[in-house]
Amino acid sequence: MGKAQRAHPPFFLPNPQSLAKSIMSLLEKTLQKIYPQDTLFRERAKERLDQLALPHWALGDLMDLAVDLAGMTRSMTPAVTRKAVVVMAGDHGVVAEGVSKFPSEVTPQMVYNFVNGGAGINALARQAGAEVIVVDMGVAADLRELAAAGKIINKKIGMGTDNIAVGPAMSRTMAQMAVEAGIDIANDLAGRIDVFGTGDMGIGNTTPSTAIAVVLTGKTVVELTGRGTGLDDAQLSHKAEVIIKALAVNMPDAKNGLDVLAKVGGFEIGGLAGLILGAAANQKPVLVDGFISTAAALIAYTIEPFVRDYIICAHRSMEQGHVFMHEKLGRKPLLDLNMRLGEGTGAALAMNLVEAARAVLTEVATFAEAAVAGADK
């Protein structure tokens, strides 16, 4: 290029606004790394499983899961032994509408219970050989002491969301911050964790999760609204009315995951969506727990549909809308045990099945290896 053609002298620097536009966000960089499962490894896994010394596909869904693990990890010996359930906590302004039987004070109290090892998720994670990693995404309490002691991760976006019955839960910027906080955690853990599990804690969070599900599944509020922590009929009806009001006030865009999150979501839901996106970008399986975690998965799926290739739905909860959320994701849950606790308990239980699927793929002999006669044609 001649001097006459040079637009600016060599020392020219673009203005800050132009520079900001040229720098990709963490979310954008992450989305560029998410690809479908590897077809070659899926085919290789299926070919081996077809030849195992047992009636064809006699281990059913475990064998389907084994194929998925090979495709996700690009390996015939998927690494699944290093496991962590990431429990994200946040409070919700909509609790002011009387949608929960418990007060918001329970959220930080439960965070301390997680840290002390006394919660349901602690017991089931220990049984599964998994770590429990607790993240403050937006608890309405000062938890800096726990973070300073290294007992939780501090990613606090705010002191709880705003009340979705009267306006948006958070700003669009905060929504992206929440998602990117989850991505950060996935990236930080990816070097030492093989399998992620999602967990949640946040009083009132079935209400925003239901609102998300209504927007992203197209089902009605009545079809999707469940009893949460144990609402009676009158309380359930009131909760549905609050969700209808929140959707009318905020009018979230079903085609835009960040818009849905910002208008009717939660900080911990955004963090979990980011964790799922980050796991997919690192080609790690992610076990999605119950109703709230699946709402986060729907947000992640709306942002990047290929993320579905790394999602394993751990279980179907008692929340009546959960089945429609699984249908939207196109994923069949591994377990159905009438659970409704959250915290990542279903994800921890299903980690045992992930290890079992890996064992089927890698340890069961083929007919040829075992010198066993195959079935008659």
CA 18 to each of CA 12, 30, 177: distance values in angstroms, whole numbers, following the listed order: 13, 22, 21
* Confidence band of 371 (pLDDT split at 50, 70, 90): confident
DSSP 297: H
* Confidence band of 23 (pLDDT split at 50, 70, 90): confident
pTM of the model: 0.93
CA 187 to each of CA 27, 258, 300: distance values in angstroms, whole numbers, following the listed order: 12, 20, 16
End-to-end CA distance of the chain: give it in Å, rounded. 72
Identify the residue whose tokens are 């195959």: 374
Instruction: Give the H or E element holding residue 199.
Output: strand 195-201
| Helix and strand counts by DSSP (H, E) for the chain | 17, 6
pLDDT at 369 over 50: yes
Q: Please give the pLDDT value at position 377.
A: 62
Question: Do residues 211 and 243 touch, judged by C-beta distance below 8 A?
Answer: yes
180 is annotated as an active-site residue: no
Residues 6+ apart with CB under 8 A from 46: 67
Identify the residue whose tokens are 């999760």: 209
Pairing verdict, β 130-138 and 286-288: unpaired
The architecture that CATH gives domain 39-78+360-370 is: Orthogonal Bundle (1.10)
pLDDT in tens, 27-62: 999 999 999 999 999 999 999 999 999 999 999 999
The dihedral through the CA atoms of 201, 286, 349, 127 has a sign that is negative
Integer Cα distance of 173 and 263 in angstroms: 12
Q: Please give the pLDDT value at position 376.
A: 64
C-alpha closest to that of 269 among 261, 259, 257: 261
* Confidence band of 370 (pLDDT split at 50, 70, 90): confident
Range 117-142 average pLDDT: 98
Instruction: Tell me the β-bridge partners of 287.
Output: 197, 312
pLDDT at 17 over 60: no
Determine the longest span between alpha carbons in the chain, in angstroms. 81
Q: Where are the domains of the chain?
A: 39-78+360-370, 83-356
pLDDT at 8 over 60: no
CATH number of 83-356: 3.40.50.10210
CA 76 to chain centre: 25
Instruction: Tell me the β-bridge partners of 44.
Output: none
pLDDT at 195 over 60: yes
C-alpha closest to that of 275 among 291, 264, 289, 256: 289
Burial 140-163 (b: 16+ CB within 10 A, else e): bbebeebbeeeebbebbbbebbbb
Range 179-183 average pLDDT: 98
Q: Among 11-25, 89-103, 156-170, 292-306, where is mean pLDDT lowest?
A: 11-25
Range 201-212 average pLDDT: 97
pLDDT at 5 over 70: no
CA 59 to each of CA 63, 138, 250, 316, 332: distance values in angstroms, whole numbers, following the listed order: 6, 42, 47, 20, 16
pLDDT in tens, 316-355: 999 999 999 999 999 999 999 999 999 999 999 999 999 9
Range 11-37 average pLDDT: 74
C-alpha closest to that of 138 among 122, 126, 124, 154: 154
Q: Which of 343, 355, 363, 369 is catalytic?
A: 343
